[in-house]
A and B are shown apart, each in its own frame.
Chain A
């Protein structure tokens, strides 16, 4: 149950935006990809899910449980998505369909892949809503996304990712759009759920402070290439590359910014 990425390259209209990225997410592992915006971290995640935008081409190798994913057709991809690997998105505001009830969106993957319908689907929706800590799970499943707060919506997104019982969860900046107080709750929840389900986690972020809370290993991306990788503890205590040091400085700045300075 491991993901092995080797020499992954993504080109958009001839421009290389991800250049030879290699890493491994072992079974049950929690790996982070960190970098500034434009470093290619989101495209790496999308390439793994096979969700690259029109005009973007992935090359290299993405092996999932021994299967090569690069070059698979949409038809071959669809059964893998949601069931074997699922994704959590950055913007809980827009990642949910505004006109469908929360419960239906939570169980979508189970509906598609495990044929869950009717009463059993409703039961699973409530169960997952409870697992992700949504208030009054029995009634919230029949609410619409606009009736929920940002944090609640992200919990719905997490529940939806879990519905198909995937063994890999790709989270693309799932806490960036949330308040700092809400972030901590979501990160703890995600860590707990991933551990409880023996799933692996690939966590994308630009914030080393967030990364420190969720991942054990990480790779630092800059302009599409890996500049440093290793254990998160080591990256925090002894960063080698200037980009990593910059990220560490940013993370510290958010913690200890003195009053009045900019």
Chain B
């Protein structure tokens, strides 16, 4: 049974997967269609309460909040995937270098990783944004590098643990080269750690993007972003509390879903942890 099918049988995993899929689908749909143009201000319908035709109401300039949130999902998904990819590549590379190379190399890699971890990701992103102007790339690269080194630190220990296992020696005895052992035995066995870390990094990236946009260091104001929307409507929280609710819910739900997905994926990718039907197809034990 595939890992995806096993993930589907974990209730929390299924819900998280559905939420993540809905957000991704929303981002795709928003490329072609939103109920209203998310950038069109309409002074006559400012601060409309949730209802028809503005399902989630409007903000102070009369923009449709549902359309803004749909369009904002694009940035969220882009940042989550972009930062996730960057973090994975950096994490795998640094973890492999830090775990499997000759002692002087792997120890200097470990020190290098520890130094990078000491840098505050958000502050550096803000500095870069302040000097060269904010853009999605700044967010993606700073969060990607920032969490990539975190992945590397955790995964390095896991790779070293797996590398000591007898089956790695057995694979070597079968004639596999070091790189074949890395791709066929070490990385798949360390994958649960990578996947959980990746999922958390994506959640952190979503949160970081929202935070940076909220502070004005994220995507340019012309692009709709959940964090930006939150900062725009928060001044009116006492008058129009529901308008703050929607971007807040969107951010919270996405981060929560990605975190839960990570946990469920860890369970699903490990066949020794799985329960249910597989246990019943147990082969009969005989005296060997």
Interface positions of A (Cβ within 8 A of B): 49, 51, 54, 74-75, 78-83, 86-87, 89, 91, 94-100, 108-109, 112-113, 133, 135-136, 139-140, 143-144, 146-152, 154-155, 157, 160, 163-164, 178, 181-182, 185-186
The answer to whether A108 and B272 touch (CB under 8 A), given A94-B165, A100-B188, is no
For B283, the chain A residues whose CB sits under 8 A away are: 135-136, 139-140, 143, 147-148
Q: Mark B130-156, 1 if CB is under 8 A from A, else 0.
A: 000000000000000000000000000
Spell out B's residues near A (CB within 8 Å).
103, 165-167, 169-178, 180, 185, 188-189, 269-272, 282-288
Give the complex CA separation of A49 and B172 in angstroms: 9
Residues of B within 8 A of A152 (CB): 285-286, 288
Does the CB pair B282–A147 fall under 8 Å? yes
User: Known contacts A51-B169, A98-B272, A99-B270: does B176 contact A78 (CB below 8 Å)?
Assistant: yes
Least Cβ distance of A186 to chain B in Å? 7
Are the CB atoms of A149 and B285 closer together than 8 Å? yes
Q: Give Cα A77–Cα B286 distance, bound, in whole angstroms.
A: 38
Contacts of B167 in A (CB 8 A): 94-98
Contacts of B170 in A (CB 8 A): 87, 89, 95-96, 157, 160
Residues of B within 8 A of A49 (CB): 173
A86/B288 in contact, CB under 8 A: no
A98 contact from B169, B271, B286, Cβ within 8 A:
B271
9 shortest A-B CB distances, which residue pairs?
A151-B288, A82-B175, A82-B174, A87-B173, A94-B166, A81-B175, A109-B174, A95-B166, A97-B167
CB atoms of B171 and A51 under 8 A apart: no
**Residue ID in chain A nearest B189 by CB atoms:** A99
Residues of chain B with a CB closer than 8 A to A154's CB: 288
19 A-B pairs with CB atoms under 8 Å apart are A83-B175, A91-B166, A94-B167, A95-B166, A95-B170, A97-B188, A98-B167, A99-B269, A108-B176, A112-B175, A135-B283, A140-B283, A143-B283, A148-B283, A148-B285, A151-B287, A157-B170, A181-B287, A185-B287
The closest CB in chain B to the CB of A148 belongs to: B283
When distances are taken between beta carbons in the complex, the residues of chain B under 8 Å from A87 are 170, 173
Does A79 lie within 8 Å of B175, measured CB to CB? yes
CA distance A74 to B166 in the complex (A): 18
Alpha-carbon gap, A155 to B288, bound state (A): 8
Contact B175 A51 (CB under 8 A): no
The answer to whether A112 and B174 touch across the interface, beta carbons within 8 angstroms, is yes
A79 to B180, CA, bound (A): 13
Which residues of chain B come closer than 8 Å to A94, judged between CB atoms? 165-167
The CA-CA distance from A150 to B175 in the complex, in Å, is 24
Q: Write out the residue numbers on chain A whose beta carbons fall within 8 Å of the beta carbon of B284.
A: 135-136
Chain A residue, CB-CB nearest to B173:
A87
B175 contact from A80, A98, A181, Cβ within 8 A: A80
Q: Chain B residues with Cβ under 8 A from A181's Cβ? A: 287
Taking CB atoms, residues of chain B closer than 8 Å to A163 are 174
Picked from A79, A99, A147, A160, the residue with its CB within 8 Å of the CB of B188 is A99
Residues of A contacting B174 with CB < 8 Å?
81-82, 86, 108-109, 112, 160, 163-164
Shortest distance between the CB of A74 and any CB in chain B (Å): 7
Report the Cα distance A112→B173, complex, angstroms: 12
Please measure, in the bound complex, the distance between the C-alpha atom of A200 and the C-alpha atom of B152, giving whole angstroms: 44
Which residues from chain B contact A136 at a C-beta distance below 8 Å?
283-284
* Bound-state Cα–Cα, A164 to B171, Å: 12
CB distance from B97 to the nearest CB of A (A): 16
